[in-house]
Structure 1
Amino acid sequence: MKHKGDLLLFLAAFIGGSGFISSKYLLDWGYTPYQVIFGRFLVAALCLGIFYWKAWKSITKSEWKVGSILGLLLAATFLLLTLGLQYTTPSVNAFLCNTQAVVVPFICWFAFRQKPAVSVILAAVVTVIGVAMLSVTDGLRLDLGAVLSFAASIAFSLQMALMGRMIAACDSVHIALVENAVVAVLSFFISLIMGGEVPPLSLGAVGNFLNAGILCTGVYFVLQSVGQRYTSASKTALIITTESIFAAVISAVLYGERLTLRGYVGCILIFGAVLLAEAPLGRKKSG
């Protein structure tokens, strides 16, 4: 199926968009960002481990190595994302953390000599404009939070670029298992170091941890791992950026937020950028 990878990545972006709502509720109920990260990845690791319990024995040393590297980058992404949000506004944080559509093509270009097509470069620029219109409400300012937020985007971009390079020789499910396990262990120690009282575990909190862990983390990264086998890292970054659109729509339905006209224009630009990435600009004709 020609667009199998794209469809799986769009599904991942849709599922990931709902994770922002679960995390928002958990933070509102008094959980620290580190507890939220640990809780969602613990649930994801346990559920994937149980569902794919036979797969653990067949994970190769190479897959453990690749999955651990990707897991470290993923842990760095969530840690930098959380720290950045503490020192800047949510709008600046959201904008800078969704610039991987621009970063990934250039990482692949300079690190792996994979020169992106003109259409991909143009799509990346349009994506950033769209994300800015969707997310930014205050003026951007260069502060510690902004630097950390952009660093989170670079970490996630490296994760995507390396996955695109390494996933072909690995089993996608094995990589997702190792990734989630590594982040769960790391976030456990980070939450212990940072401390903080754990609020009572209510029924609502359990439901949101299950949603964030099972769907928005476990299923999400399985879909990303499988989907990226069928498309490029640059296009993966563009498609995953649509997560901000789905988050805005789901937030409007479940959390009562409303998009402005500028926000709707941003959504259209992001979807248009994904279509632009398919254009044959700057691509060599195949023999």
Structure 2
Amino acid sequence: MNKQWIADVSLLAVTFVWGATFVVVQNAISFLEPLSFNAVRFWLAGLFLLLWLLLFYRSLLTQWSSSLLRAGGWMGLWLFSGYAFQTIGLLYTTSSKTAFITGLSVVLVPLFSFLFLKQKPTANAVFGALIATAGLYFLTMNGGEWSMNRGDVFVFFCAISFAMHIIVTGKYSSRYPTLLLTVIQIFTVAIMCSVFAFLFEDGTQMWNVAVLRQQEVWTALMITSLLATALAFLIQTKFQKYTTAARVALIFAMEPVFAAITAYIWAGERLSPAGIIGCIGILSGMILPEFRFSLSFGKRLSTKRHLTR
């Protein structure tokens, strides 16, 4: 079976899990503050992966190196930034808006590829970014008025972070063992979340049994730590080497779609007509860079997929 097809299906499954957890996380952070929640989430995920490594893949420890540590730490830094900004943003904006603004990372990937990897974006990639930006404007309108609140700003920085995470994952995933690289980046996020939780929140709530016993909290922690963190990033690190960053970004564009569906089913969230237009604009901006349109003399107009990077 084609490895790229397996990679695409696996990454789509990961995207579904991420999209479905927006509402779950938003409910949980009403009891446990965002950075504290992420600290517990990533510690649990990291410990699970470490136990898995020691029990079944201990021989991989012989491949430990300082360059591996730097690569995993760099991936973890961008991952921490993305989740920190996203979870804080959920305090001030809706799950649907968070999902669609986060999706702008798909448009940012070609731009950052040009800035940091010197890969020139196509003309329709630039056009797609403009369409997505217009879509963002409509999505954040409220009754015809501009309403970019602080939650939306936090989530936009989250989009930047996740775009960088896609790029660095693509860079390092083929160089180092998947499990080791994943363990390092997960523990990096756990440590950084813990430090910042004590600096900006009441970090002692991370081990407050009364808080952790809340159904909304422990349910969210179990789902996000095992499925949306340990398994999800293990799969991304494993399979991104078999496809391109642009293709991964296109697959991740389905995350806000899944999030909007689950927000509709579980939380009863509705988008205004302008918001729907904005969502269509952002999705169009995400997908457009993945296609190339060409007209050949004497031949009919043909459209084919064009995967950059």
| TM-score tier (shorter) | 0.7 to 0.9
- 8 Å CA contact 1:235–1:274 kept in 2: the answer is no
1:194-232 C-alpha deviation (Å, 9 max, x unpaired): 216442523453222100111111112122212321222
Post-superposition CA distance 1:65-95 (Å, at most 9, x none): 1001110111122223344555x54476555
Shift of 1:162: 1.7
> What is the match of residue 70 of structure 2?
65
TM alignment of 1:52-131, pairs within 5 A: 52-53=53-54, 54-55=57-58, 57-61=61-65, 62-85=67-90, 89-90=93-94, 94-118=99-123, 120-124=125-129
Alpha-carbon distance in structure 1 between the residues aligned to 2:159 and 2:285: 18
SS of equivalent to 2:291: coil
Q: Does 1:170 align with 2:176?
A: yes
Gaps of 5+ in 2: 295-304
Partner residue of 1:33?
Answer: 34
Which amino acid in the other structure matches residue 136 of structure 1? T
Deviation at 1:103, TM superposition (A): 1.3
Change (3 A) 1:75 1:59: farther
Query: How much does 1:189 deviate?
Result: 1.9
Say if 1:130 and 1:10 are closer, same or farther in 2 by CA, change over 3 A. Answer: farther
- How far the C-alpha of 1:152 sits from its partner, in A, is 2.3
Question: What SS is found at the alignment partner of 1:36?
Answer: helix
Partner SS, residue 29 of structure 2: helix
Q: Which residue of 2 aligns with 1:155?
A: 161
In structure 2, what is the Cα distance between the partners aligned to 1:243 and 1:115? 26
CA distance in 1, matches of 2:214, 2:148: 39
Q: Are 1:238 and 2:250 an aligned pair? A: yes
Distance 1:191 1:141, change over 3 A: same
Q: Name the structure 2 match of 1:279.
A: 291
C-alpha contact 1:101 1:127 (8 A) present in aligned 2 = no
Whether 2:261 is the aligned partner of 1:249: answer yes
Q: Hey, what's the Cα distance between the residues in 2 that align with 1:175 and 1:268?
A: 36
Are 2:75 and 2:168, in contact at CA under 8 Å, matched by a contact in 1? yes
Preserved contact between residue 99 and residue 255 of structure 2 (Cα < 8 Å): no
Aligned partner of 1:218 in structure 2 is 230
In the TM superposition, what is the alpha-carbon distance from 1:183 to its structure 2 partner?
0.6
CA distance in 2, matches of 1:126, 1:235: 19
Q: For the Cα contact (< 8 Å) 2:29–2:217, is it kept in 1? A: no
Deviations 1:93-138 (A, max 9, x none): 55543311221101111221222344544555555566766x5353
Q: TM-score, normalised by structure 1?
A: 0.81
Percent identity of equivalent pairs: 24
* TM-fit CA distance, 1:181: 0.9
Partner of 2:300: none
Could you tell me which residue of structure 1 aligns to residue 51 of structure 2? 50
Output the amino acid matched with 1:101.
Answer: V
**Offset of 1:173 from its aligned partner?**
2.5
**Which residue pairs with 1:209 in the alignment?**
221
Whether the aligned pair in 2 keeps the contact of 1:101 and 1:124 (CA below 8 Å) is: no
Moved more, 199-208 or 119-128: 119-128
User: Aligned Cα RMSD in Å?
Assistant: 3.2
Q: SS of the counterpart of 2:119?
A: coil
C-alpha deviation, 1:270, in angstroms? 6.5
Q: TM-score, normalised by structure 2?
A: 0.76
* Residue correspondences, number: 281
1:221-255 superposed Cα distances (whole Å, 9 cap, x missing partner) = 12221232122223322321321111111222233
Instruction: Answer yes or no: is 1:13 the counterpart of 2:18.
Output: no
- Cα 1:119/1:146, change in 2 over 3 Å: same
Q: 1:144 to 1:15 in 2, by over 3 A?
A: closer
Structure 1 counterpart of 2:188: 182
CA distance in 2, matches of 1:215, 1:181: 16
